[in-house]
Structure 1
């Protein structure tokens, strides 16, 4: 089945699910997030079992469902953030205890995601949790301490896996190995560089024809820039910024703490993932294998993105209605 037809199918499914959950009160029930968290853990374990998980590009991150390959890490992102947000909003325990519990709840799914390995998903989730903890009132002292631990862990992960160190080296100097580790980054820049203000026109990309790996997935923004140029890329960035700003403003206007924290958490997740992808594509960050929300090809990513949209509108509408009572 052609990419366009598959992507259209995923889009319809995602929008349908978003409309379905936008009015469901279950989103506000902590037990729902606990169950979803447990389901995501089971799936993260299942994907690591030979015969269940599918290996692609060196990562065992997908479970085949026939019409699509499901990526449990996408569900885990939503489950972890939803559970932590409700816990931080409703828990009456001392903040230090809550933060410690949050770290434990985050550690298990992150460890399972890293075993696949999927560093990009793990990184996006960890950064989104940092934003959530900061919004929940984490003191600067604790924030700096956690950040220091995170940096040490990040360095340890790079050193412990040779391929990650190779990616860092390719980021610093992709031309040192232009046909190997630096190939993807170089081809992305070759797509963007000559595009100019308006690009080569829709469908006229050259790099997507066997030059740039994963042009429909992680590097779709490269192709978009090649075909629409600086102006097209700027329009897309402005659209993302408008959406993120609107979502954060919705969070500021909500009347309930749990809704506010969840909107901040899910918006932060999409924000981090978006600009991480754009940073990789433009050579500002090392290659991580993160999709661009709404645009990259892929069923799990697109459907889960629209589910997040449904959750955000659900929380915003419910909170506004509660404030009017």
Structure 2
């Protein structure tokens, strides 16, 4: 049972990664040749990231000793140091107005992608060792969560912060906190979101562009409109692999957050349904592994991680088809980006690692 679960997860993750590589090549080939002439093509860089991610996954999944609360505490502190690093001159790197990256020895890292794992691992371990949740436990968990969230919002990276909040809420929900807690915190979060939108004009512009992108078709609404123009004419089977129109300087940076628009344009509705089915199979497989756990901490950890990844997948797809405002989150396995790809495979490594010592029947 354990071996078959691992094999199925490897297969589904491998298929999604292969699709991602194929469409990073297709979506980014022309854009890269125009804007990054002379540099390594996106797909070659992505293959390097995949190699690092898969190797890390295998190394983590091979560890036999269970990860303790002490391990998660130090990993959490290390992730906070990484988040602080983006604000250090000479180390932190700013892109599109967001200081979310660290540049070291020629490599660029986005710490917020990795803090998700450390934060949920630490909180899961704390919750598992708490026999009965008291008010001081909730305050402690609040401080643990707010420290990285505050640093991420300061970058600013509103999309990553929102995904992490969703993962935390799901974790606290499965622990069994009362509904009044979620109503109170939900109200506070709503007030905070409104305040953040009003504090940053570009967020308000994104909201108005979501409501009516044609109000500013050459500005804030441009990306959303071009994404919809990719979906509209694609039909059941699309134009065919490599034959997208929108990737030719219409849809900005098509290999990144909006890569699903190019995928749909080339593969059509049928291909899009198949891809969503692969994502669904991946998430179901992770939930099955969580259900097989004897360790409460591992079960909490896997369920919250899987829920967070599911929310990120949904948000990306919803943004691309115009259901929600632009949030700037990547599509796991598919979008171009080293930190996203490596963090995704590291997440799989931690999920597989839990099966070495706590799976039923193992």
Please point out which of 320, 338, 344 is paired with 1:281: 320
Please point out which of 159, 163, 178 is paired with 2:198: 159
The separation in 2 between residues aligned to 1:226 and 1:65, in whole angstroms, is: 37
Give 1:244's aligned residue. Answer: 283
The separation in 2 between residues aligned to 1:27 and 1:198, in whole angstroms, is: 47
SS class of match (2:99) = strand
Residues 178-227 of structure 1, C-alpha deviations (whole Å, 9 max, x = no match): 00010110011011111111111111111112111121110111111011
Give 2:20's aligned residue. Answer: none
Segment drifting more, 46-55 vs 12-21: 46-55
Please point out which of 24, 39, 42 is paired with 2:78: 39
> Considering only aligned residues, what root-mean-square deviation do their CA atoms show, in Å?
1.4
Residues 253-306 of structure 1, C-alpha deviations (whole Å, 9 max, x = no match): 211100100101111121111111001000001001100001110100000000
- 4+ residue runs of structure 1 moved beyond 4 angstroms? none
Give 1:264's aligned residue. Answer: 303
The separation in 1 between residues aligned to 2:183 and 2:274, in whole angstroms, is: 35
The separation in 2 between residues aligned to 1:16 and 1:95, in whole angstroms, is: 41
TM-score in terms of structure 2 length:
0.86
Q: By how many angstroms is 1:66 displaced?
A: 4.3
Give 2:341's aligned residue. Answer: 302
Query: Residues 66 and 201 (structure 1 numbering): CA distance in 2 closer, same or farther, change over 3 Å?
Result: farther
SS class of match (1:254) = coil
Give 2:274's aligned residue. Answer: 235
The separation in 1 between residues aligned to 2:134 and 2:227, in whole angstroms, is: 45
Segment drifting more, 285-294 vs 145-154: 145-154
The separation in 2 between residues aligned to 1:36 and 1:20, in whole angstroms, is: 17
Give 2:112's aligned residue. Answer: 73
2:91–2:104 CA contact under 8 A, matched in 1: no
Give 1:1-80 correspondences, 5 Å limit.
Answer: 1-25=40-64, 28-66=67-105, 68-80=107-119
Q: By how many angstroms is 1:64 displaced?
A: 1.8
1:28–1:259 CA contact under 8 A, matched in 2: no
Q: By how many angstroms is 1:33 displaced?
A: 1.0
Equivalenced residue count is 323
Segment drifting more, 241-250 vs 178-187: 241-250
2:61–2:352 CA contact under 8 A, matched in 1: yes
Please point out which of 164, 167, 179 is paired with 1:140: 179
Query: Residues 27 and 61 (structure 1 numbering): CA distance in 2 closer, same or farther, change over 3 Å?
Result: farther
2:64–2:356 CA contact under 8 A, matched in 1: no
Give 1:218's aligned residue. Answer: 257
The separation in 2 between residues aligned to 1:32 and 1:194, in whole angstroms, is: 51
Gap regions ≥5 residues in structure 2: 1-39
Residues 112-166 of structure 1, C-alpha deviations (whole Å, 9 max, x = no match): 1111110010000001100011111112221222112111211111111111111
Query: Residues 14 and 61 (structure 1 numbering): CA distance in 2 closer, same or farther, change over 3 Å?
Result: same
